[in-house]
Amino acid sequence: MSIDIAVVPVAGHGTRLLPATKSQPKEMLSVGRKPVVQYVVEELGLSGIQRLLFITSHGKASIEQHFDFDEQLGGYLRETGREEQLKALEFERLNMEYFYTRQRRQLGLGHAVLCARPLIGSQPFVVALGDSIIGLHAQSDIVRRMISQFESNHADVVVAFEEVAPEEVVHYGIAQPAGEVSEVFQLEKLVEKPSREEAPSNLAVAARYVFSPAIFDALTRIKPGKGGELQLTDAISLMLDGGCKGLGVTLSKTERRFDIGNFDSYFRTFAEFAMSDPEYGASLRSFVRQLLDREET
């Protein structure tokens, strides 16, 4: 059976988005009409994922509630003649089984993935970050393409990459490809936040991964970094150094990564999604144009 399980870490503090994230998860912030994490789940559904394990933490209960059936709300909308609005709840019926476990201390993304070990066991699995959307309105099947490469090439790890501008490489884990780069390439190494001069490519890690269970051993062998955090990229590097087979899959030109982890990227993402809303996008665009014209005069 093809891989149909994904781990979605949503346990981080989201300190870069304070005060918005003081009492609500950053993964529940709205981008256009939907919370970020709903886009992530819908995208995974498009790629054939049917079992989803959230790594949650204190203060993240609204994520669980969001994916529950809300019979009361559905009943209320029907009784009051607002059937039209039921469409907004259609995501409740996605063919997805939800599981939850807690990361009790926020010891980094690597540690969050390690929390999945007792439930994932010895099967390969996907990891999708809960604060990153792939493709405008999450229209992407990147995970399906990654799973297909993982299976047909008997890989141990497949990482999604996005091309970034040369001055941006300092913010990301960057791929060192083993040869020519095309849609799929051999991954030799990952270099964490290199300088522009030292960067082996301009391909940045893009929030989606497929792993064999060997990642769990690697996560127990790496040393914690700043603040006791376990970095997922360190564990991937350890796997690659130890001879595991790594592949990179590049996002296509129409699949951008929208990371909402800081206000700059959150504002841009919200603006782009809202301006392409089928109902309100056109009027918002003309409103923004008016604002900008006013600024220039």
Q: State yes or no: residue 9 binds ligand UTP (CB under 6 A).
A: yes
| Tokens 């990654």 belong to residue | 146
Contacts of 196 (CB under 8 A, 6+ apart): 166, 167, 169, 170
Characterise 252 by phi-psi region: left (phi > 0), alpha (psi -120 to 50), beta (else). Answer: beta
Site mask, ligand UTP, residues 74-103, x = CB under 6 A? -----------------------------x
Which residue of this chain has its Cβ atom nearest to ligand UTP in the complex?
12
Sign of the alpha-carbon torsion through 205, 209, 214, 215: positive
Among 32, 35, 45, 108, binds ligand UTP (CB under 6 A): 108
Q: Which is nearer to ligand UTP, 111 or 145 (CB)?
A: 111
Strands annotated E in the chain = 5-9, 30-31, 34-35, 51-56, 97-102, 125-128, 132-134, 157-163, 173-177, 184-192, 203-211, 246-250, 257-259
For tokens 């005060």, the residue is 19
Select the span of 104-112, 135-143, 188-196, 266-274 touching ligand UTP (CB under 6 A). 104-112
Tokens representing 226? 């700043």
- Is 10 among the residues that bind ligand UTP (CB under 6 A)? yes
Q: Which of residues 243-272 bind ligand UTP (CB under 6 A)?
A: 261
Determine, following the binding rule CB under 6 A, whether residue 13 of this chain makes contact with ligand UTP.
Answer: yes
Segment near ligand UTP (CB under 6 A); pick from 78-86, 105-113, 183-191, 273-281? 105-113
Task: Give CA–CA dist 188/179, Å, rounded.
Answer: 9
Site for ligand UTP contains 15 (CB under 6 A): yes
C-alpha span between 158 and 187 (Å, rounded): 8
> If binding is defined by CB under 6 A, does position 7 make contact with ligand UTP?
no
- Measured distance CA(194)–CA(185) in Å, rounded: 20
Number of Cα atoms under 13 Å in the Cβ half of residue 266 = 18
Q: Which two tokens stand for residue 54?
A: 């959230």
- For the bound state, the minimum distance from the C-beta of residue 165 to ligand UTP, rounded and expressed in Å, comes to 20
Shortest Cβ 128–ligand UTP spacing (Å)? 9
Binds ligand UTP by CB under 6 A, chosen from 112, 160, 210, 260: 112
Closer residue to ligand UTP, CB minimum distance, 172 or 185: 172
Q: Is residue 236 a contact residue for ligand UTP (CB under 6 A)? A: no
Binding residues for ligand UTP, how many (CB under 6 A)? 21
Q: How far apart are CA 212 and CA 57, in angstroms?
A: 25
Whichever of 169 and 184 has its CB closer to ligand UTP, that residue is 169
Q: Does 6 bind ligand UTP (CB under 6 A)?
A: no
* CB 265 to ligand UTP: min, Å: 10
Show the binding pattern over residues 113-142: x = contacts ligand UTP (CB under 6 A), - = does not: ----------------xxx-----------
Give the 3-state secondary structure of residue 143.
Answer: helix
Burial of 48 (0-12, 13-18, 19+ CB in 10 A): middle
> Applying CB under 6 A, does 35 fall inside the site for ligand UTP?
no
Q: Give the interface with ligand UTP as residue ranges (CB under 6 A).
A: 9-16, 27, 55, 103, 106-109, 111-112, 129-131, 261
